[in-house]
Structure 1
Amino acid sequence: MNNKDYYQILGIDRHANSDEIKRAYRKLAFKYHPDRNINNKQEAEDKFKAAAEAYSILSDKQKRLQYDQYGHENYHEFDHQKSDLNVEDIFSSFGDILNDGLGGFTDFVETTKQQGDNLRIKIRLELNEINNGIIKKIKVKRMKFSKDVQFKVCPLCHGTGSINKLSHTFLGQIQTTINCTQCFGLGKLILRIPRGVNNQGLKQVEELINIKIPAGIKNKMHIKVLGKGNDAPFGLGQKGDLIVLVEEIPHPNFQRNGDNLFYDLYISIPQAILGTYEYIPTFNGTVRIKISPGSQGGKILRLKGKGLPQMNGFGRGDLFIHINIWVPKTISQEHKLWFQNINKDPHFAPKHNQNNKSFLDKIKEIYYND
């Protein structure tokens, strides 16, 4: 933070309009530009940054209003944003102002950061693979830099990748550094490209990649395998990544919601009346459960910790068993007469208990009372 009042730094009065603020800043930015003050670069750079700091506040209506209201010292206690600017930040933020009539300021430093393209694949997983976690070996076609490509040093930049540019303006000359226009910042030119290699020095190869699938991963999640995408052009730069989309294959017995599993159990009318024991498959073995006499259709039983593992490694979801009473569509004449006889029995008359939870209440209990 500069200790001098921002209006004083720009040499304007407190009633200056936006155009006057802009003109004052441009004048100071040109005067104290680091490239124009080689013999006194540090002092010029400090004044150059002070002018930029003042302009960043006074050119913003809201910030200027707060600055005028609180004063110079109190404003920085009110505004906790970082005000330490470096030269590159200034050109990035105010390049349009500096370039308007000062030509070449926005080209102060230009660099080319190359990165290989990311690759995207889809992988289908069985529910038991999701339960256990697994390492999948997948063949992936990716573009890899060919070591058979031959280069020569760029004659224009002599391998540096950058050249100096002299810009002529009505206020003088500005020397800036830009990417080499011949090698585009690479520092080298291609001498020979072998057959099967593209003009970026890349060749398609098939590679076997190990993809670690964590236990409990969810459908439509993405896994990023670093550095297993395409190589950067000419191998100069960071490799791309392999983005793996997980697609869960529907299970014939279980339905999934988060870390919980749902299983439909069908029992007969006699089993519902008399009670029974049933064996339920889980991913950790078979579990024997008791069906109490008089169980109603729609009843939900909960087996704690028999669902899928949580991805964070702490605990497992639950297995919910939904009881369905199976009613035959056709029965014999004998059975039909028997049911007609007991139909008049009061024990078989439906009785609604106000204390019984509805199916909707049971579902809410599952999702909101874990």
Structure 2
Amino acid sequence: MGVEYYNILKVSRNATEEDVKKSYKRLAMKWHPDKNAVNTKEAEAKFKQISEAYDVLSDPQKRQIYDLYGEEGLKSGYYPPPGSMERENGGGRGFKFSPRDAEDIFEEFFGGFDINKGKTTGGGGGGGGRLKKAAAMETKLPCSLEELYKGSKRKMKISRVVLDDSGKPGTVEEVLAIQIKPGWKKGTKITFPEKGNHEPGAAPGDLIFVVDEKPHPVFKRDGNDLILHQRISLLGALTGKNLTITTLDGRELPLTISNIVKPGHEMVIENEGMPISKEPGKNGNLRIKFDIKFPSRLTAEQKSDLRRVLGRTTE
């Protein structure tokens, strides 16, 4: 028995030209080798079968011969098309079957459609090459400030709608690996092409993760800078103090306050802020804003001592 082209394209023997085109479009998009990096060999074989079946069933002359004599008769070259002069005159010259390249058929049908990007890159082709793309799926990716400072690897389990060979929708689950790079900001988008939902008559949509920044108990981000509110006693503000700040990557950063700290004072430590993703090796600044803690009450003796000490100072 020869190859069953109707079964390969999953259409009936009385399928219309439009039915053949629709089925080829769906199956070619599914089995194109560029979309099957894991099982490339299987995909290549199926893609070639699908292309050959479409080449035969979309051509009235080839289809006529195939319907009468099957695949072996079509390729044997013994049988001319029904109603041709060779057949009527009893001539022995038949139809010469020349198989076409699968990629050429795909290019002709889709008119330059980029299988990886889901868009048309050339002129229009026969069969509706400007295939629309299903709507993208967007989901938030909550990240801690530590992850955005150091970078991290995450695995996310997703669920999406896919179509089987008959076009029936079903749900599949998949685990995707995400590489979070140091310095990424809230709103950064990580796109997985064609990992979104499938829709009939459309290329699969993209899956997009959007970075969202979790609140941090110590630091606040301002662009590439980090802001730290540091409480200090009035005594420390006036006489100086040694502090230790734990950075987002776990380092102990010693800090010496030697000058008088006035209300609203801000100390800037360069290059201790967030990494700048577009400039590797560079960081923003750490800005320390001091909150001075005043005593709630003073004894008479303490007040007298302060008058004696501070009364000698001038503004």
User: What TM-score do you get using the length of structure 1 for normalisation?
Assistant: 0.46
CA contact 2:265–2:290 (8 Å) conserved in 1? yes
- Shift in alpha-carbon separation, 1:114–1:241, aligned structure 2, 3 A: same
Q: Once the 2 structures are TM-superposed, how far is the Cα of residue 346 of structure 1 from its aligned partner?
A: 6.5
The number of residue pairs the alignment matches comes to 188
- Partner Cα separation in structure 2 for residue 254 and residue 261 of structure 1: 6
The 5-angstrom pairing of residues 116-265 of structure 1 reads: 116-147=134-165, 149=166, 200-233=167-200, 238-265=203-230
The 5-angstrom pairing of residues 93-112 of structure 1 reads: 111-112=129-130
Match of 1:319? 286
- Partner Cα separation in structure 1 for residue 182 and residue 172 of structure 2: 30
Query: Which residue type is aligned with residue 195 of structure 2?
Result: K
- Partner Cα separation in structure 1 for residue 156 and residue 214 of structure 2: 17
- Shift in alpha-carbon separation, 1:348–1:232, aligned structure 2, 3 A: farther
Query: Which residue type is aligned with residue 265 of structure 2?
Result: K
- Shift in alpha-carbon separation, 1:261–1:246, aligned structure 2, 3 A: same
The 5-angstrom pairing of residues 305-316 of structure 1 reads: 305-314=271-280, 315-316=282-283
- Partner Cα separation in structure 2 for residue 282 and residue 349 of structure 1: 40
The 5-angstrom pairing of residues 80-99 of structure 1 reads: none
- Partner Cα separation in structure 2 for residue 112 and residue 227 of structure 1: 16
Query: Which residue type is aligned with residue 240 of structure 2?
Result: G
- Partner Cα separation in structure 2 for residue 210 and residue 312 of structure 1: 22
The 5-angstrom pairing of residues 11-30 of structure 1 reads: none
1:301 aligns with 2:301: no
SS state of the match for residue 237, structure 2?
helix
CA contact 1:114–1:232 (8 Å) conserved in 2? no
Query: Which residue type is aligned with residue 281 of structure 1?
Result: T
Match of 1:358? none
CA contact 1:342–1:348 (8 Å) conserved in 2? no
Unaligned runs of 5+ in 1: 1-107, 150-199, 353-370
SS state of the match for residue 323, structure 1?
strand
- Partner Cα separation in structure 1 for residue 314 and residue 163 of structure 2: 76
Encode CA deviations 1:29-85: one digit per residue, 9 max, x unaligned: xxxxxxxxxxxxxxxxxxxxxxxxxxxxxxxxxxxxxxxxxxxxxxxxxxxxxxxxx
Query: Which residue type is aligned with residue 299 of structure 2?
Result: K
- Shift in alpha-carbon separation, 1:258–1:327, aligned structure 2, 3 A: same
Match of 1:275? 240
- Partner Cα separation in structure 1 for residue 287 and residue 313 of structure 2: 26
CA contact 1:231–1:239 (8 Å) conserved in 2? yes
- Partner Cα separation in structure 2 for residue 212 and residue 320 of structure 1: 28
Encode CA deviations 1:144-168: one digit per residue, 9 max, x unaligned: 2324x3xxxxxxxxxxxxxxxxxxx
Encode CA deviations 1:335-358: one digit per residue, 9 max, x unaligned: 421332145337258855xxxxxx
SS state of the match for residue 183, structure 2?
coil
SS state of the match for residue 345, structure 1?
helix
Unaligned runs of 5+ in 2: 1-125
Q: Once the 2 structures are TM-superposed, how far is the Cα of residue 307 of structure 1 from its aligned partner?
A: 0.8
Say what the alpha-carbon RMSD is for the aligned residues: 2.5
Query: Which residue type is aligned with residue 266 of structure 2?
Result: I
- Partner Cα separation in structure 1 for residue 180 and residue 246 of structure 2: 24
- Partner Cα separation in structure 1 for residue 246 and residue 218 of structure 2: 9
- Shift in alpha-carbon separation, 1:139–1:340, aligned structure 2, 3 A: same
| RCO comparison, higher one (Cα < 8 Å, 6+) | 1
Query: Which residue type is aligned with residue 117 of structure 1?
Result: A
- Partner Cα separation in structure 2 for residue 264 and residue 350 of structure 1: 29
- Shift in alpha-carbon separation, 1:202–1:325, aligned structure 2, 3 A: same
Query: Which residue type is aligned with residue 151 of structure 2?
Result: G
- Partner Cα separation in structure 2 for residue 350 and residue 242 of structure 1: 66
1:286 aligns with 2:252: yes
- Shift in alpha-carbon separation, 1:213–1:299, aligned structure 2, 3 A: same
- Shift in alpha-carbon separation, 1:259–1:293, aligned structure 2, 3 A: closer
Query: Which residue type is aligned with residue 275 of structure 2?
Result: P
Query: Which residue type is aligned with residue 211 of structure 2?
Result: V
- Partner Cα separation in structure 2 for residue 218 and residue 349 of structure 1: 51
Percent of aligned positions that are identical: 26
User: What TM-score do you get using the length of structure 2 for normalisation?
Assistant: 0.54
